[in-house]
């Protein structure tokens, strides 16, 4: 699975349409039975992206914990589903930084499941690259447990994304990814904790390093931010995970 997280980009409808079309076209030569490609645009661009793609799946970058009612500025799972969204990124560190805590993320995860969206739950610790693997495992274990309170993971479709906060780029893929060996170690650990979930890696994945991550058997995909704004780069990542 390769997920494009466009974040607060691009700025125009035309750019969103072009980027989505280029990605869709570029995927044609790949063995699409081996890789599921998902675009998570800003919610206002979901309709135009839904129109521009056919086999690319769609997701929301965030959804409300509520289903309806007096919640100014919120967008519900049911509303994004109207535009073919079938995934929702939840618990991203950029949203945790805005004040979303584990309890709130748990409510959103339940809202996603109720609205038939598959959660892509992001977990990842700290701001320092020198956290020990044991400390990272402690933090993500807590994040996973609290996000899943009252949920039986084996009963839902769930993707977990290991996103070390320090490895996430600050723009167009300018960050430094962790080593594939580190990602594989943490991802194997997550896989053992929640065996029914798919586990992917996110943090400065680009066309140049994707194959190294894809080569690790435990890493089942990538969540791509900056590099997903460039169709060629994103297609290289998709190609790496398609094994073609």
Alpha-carbon distance of 25 to 90, in angstroms, equals 28
Alpha-carbon distance of 77 to 69, in angstroms, equals 13
Q: Is 232 exposed, middle or buried (0-12, 13-18, 19+ CB in 10 A)?
A: exposed
Q: Does 81 participate in binding ligand PGA (rule CB under 6 A)?
A: no
Q: Does 175 participate in binding ligand PGA (rule CB under 6 A)?
A: yes
**Considering the complex, what minimum distance in angstroms separates the CB of residue 206 from ligand PGA?**
7
Q: Does 226 participate in binding ligand PGA (rule CB under 6 A)?
A: yes
**Considering the complex, what minimum distance in angstroms separates the CB of residue 103 from ligand PGA?**
22
User: Closer CB to ligand PGA, residue 2 or residue 117?
Assistant: 2
Q: Of 41, 115, 191, 203, which one interacts with ligand PGA (CB under 6 A)? A: 203
124 to 24, 36, 132, 138, 199: CA distances (angstroms) = 30, 23, 13, 10, 12
Residue nearest to ligand PGA (CB): 225
Strand partners, 4: 39, 224
Instruction: Check whether the bond before 10 is cis (ω within 30° of 0).
Output: yes
User: Closer CB to ligand PGA, residue 10 or residue 78?
Assistant: 10
**Considering the complex, what minimum distance in angstroms separates the CB of residue 123 from ligand PGA?**
12
Residue 23 in 3-state DSSP? Answer: helix
Interacting positions 141-170 with ligand PGA (CB under 6 A) = 163, 168-169
User: Closer CB to ligand PGA, residue 61 or residue 79?
Assistant: 61
Q: Locate the DSSP E strands across the chain.
A: 2-5, 37-40, 57-60, 85-90, 118-123, 159-162, 198-202, 222-224
* Active-site amino acid positions: 92, 163
Residues near ligand PGA (CB under 6 A) are 5, 163, 168-169, 173, 175, 202-205, 223-227
């Amino acid at each position: 699975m390769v997920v494009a997280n466009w974040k607060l980009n691009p700025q125009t409808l035309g750019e969103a349409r072009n980027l989505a079309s280029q990605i869709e076209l570029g995927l044609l030569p790949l063995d699409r039975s081996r890789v599921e490609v998902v675009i998570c645009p800003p919610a206002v661009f979901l309709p135009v992206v839904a129109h521009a793609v056919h086999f690319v799946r769609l997701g929301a970058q965030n959804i409300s914990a509520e289903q309806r009612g007096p919640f100014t500025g919120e967008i519900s799972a049911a509303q994004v589903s109207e535009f073919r969204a079938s995934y929702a990124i939840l618990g991203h560190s950029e949203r945790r930084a805005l004040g979303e805590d584990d309890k709130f993320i748990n409510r959103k995860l339940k809202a996603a499941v109720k609205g038939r969206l598959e959660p892509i739950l992001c977990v990842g610790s700290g701001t320092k690259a020198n956290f020990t693997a044991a400390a990272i495992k402690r933090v993500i274990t807590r994040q996973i447990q609290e996000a899943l309170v009252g949920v039986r993971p084996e009963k839902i479709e769930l993707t977990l994304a290991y996103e070390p906060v320090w490895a996430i780029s600050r723009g167009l893929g300018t960050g430094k990814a962790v080593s594939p060996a580190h990602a594989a170690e943490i991802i194997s650990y997550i896989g053992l904790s929640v065996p029914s979930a798919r586990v992917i890696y996110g943090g400065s994945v680009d066309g140049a390093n994707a194959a190294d991550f894809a080569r690790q058997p435990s890493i089942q995909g990538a969540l791509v931010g900056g590099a997903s704004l460039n169709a060629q780069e994103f297609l290289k990542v998709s190609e790496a995970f398609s094994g073609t």
